[in-house]
Amino acid sequence: MTTMPPALSRAIDLLADPPADPDVTKGYLDLLADVPETDVTPKNTGVIQAAWASGLGSMLYDNAQAFARKLVSAWQLPIDWLDIPAGGVALDVGSGPGNVTASLARAAGADGLALGVDISEPMLARAVEAEAGPNVGFLRADAQQLPFRDGVFDAVTSLAVLQLIPDPSATIAEIARVLKPGGRVAIMVPTAGRGGEVLKWLPNGGVHFFTEDELGDAFEELGLVGVRTKTLGNIQWVRGRRP
């Protein structure tokens, strides 16, 4: 019998529709294992997401992001701005190798909780191996349909993910929905630059490049306030909070 990690037990309390028989056999809570193909949200069939969904691609990404986060300030999470209270609850959407999720957990302290959601099993396996712990847990779910109740998170992050989502407006609306009043969100996306030019020539890159104001406008349309965007080279950060 698989024992339920404490962070996942706390995650289940936050779900809108908790499973009767939660599948945690791989160390993360798998909410997509029994979802029929007909029920699923639109899928990214492009080559970039295919890479992140493979063992080799997830390993290469993990090494590249660790390097980028050490060297490039534009990649670094605005953890102080997120203002996660001690004992707070934070969500990382498209958590990949899980190190951003773990930094949210450190900010929330021993009584806090940080959850990462991703769709890629190899990425989740890496995240569980490297970062899962008493207050860090991972779930397999689709960012276009977050499994949580309304208003449960003090902070939400989503870094280098929205460009891969077939319906990014659904994900942004979901993020706004799960934020508590006063909760803060920080999103990072790559912008079209030289890399974007290269990707345009791929037969199916499956990557969307947002225009300068697209995400900031979407935040405001959802009623988020204090919306700020900052573009640094090929990276854009968008921040806001729920009133």
Per DSSP, the three-state class of 15 is: strand
One of 31, 105, 107, 143 touching ligand SAM (CB under 6 A) = 143
One of 8, 46, 95, 135 touching ligand SAM (CB under 6 A) = 95
Closest CB to ligand SAM among residues 6, 195: 195
Q: Binding pattern to ligand SAM, positions 53-92, x when CB under 6 A?
A: x-------x---x---------------------------
CA atoms within 13 A on the CB side of 225: 5
Instruction: Tell me the sheet residues that pair with 156.
Output: 91, 185
Per DSSP, the three-state class of 91 is: strand
Closest CB to ligand SAM among residues 9, 65: 65
Shortest Cβ distance from residue 100 to ligand SAM (Å)? 5
Shortest Cβ distance from residue 181 to ligand SAM (Å)? 25
Cβ proximity of 98 and 116 under 8 Å: yes
Shortest Cβ distance from residue 142 to ligand SAM (Å)? 5
Taking CB under 6 A as the rule, does residue 103 contact ligand SAM?
no
CA distance 3 to 223: 41
Cβ proximity of 123 and 48 under 8 Å: no
* Binding piece for ligand SAM, criterion CB under 6 A, among 20-28, 140-148, 202-210, 214-222: 140-148
- Residues whose CB is less than 8 angstroms from the CB of residue 70 and which lie 6 or more positions away in sequence, other chains included: none
- Residues whose CB is less than 8 angstroms from the CB of residue 234 and which lie 6 or more positions away in sequence, other chains included: 190, 191, 193, 194, 195, 196
Taking CB under 6 A as the rule, does residue 165 contact ligand SAM?
yes
CA distance 163 to 166: 8
Taking CB under 6 A as the rule, does residue 159 contact ligand SAM?
yes
Taking CB under 6 A as the rule, does residue 160 contact ligand SAM?
yes
Residues at the site binding ligand SAM, with contacts judged by CB under 6 A: 44, 49, 52-53, 61, 65, 94-97, 100, 117-120, 123, 142-144, 159-161, 164-165
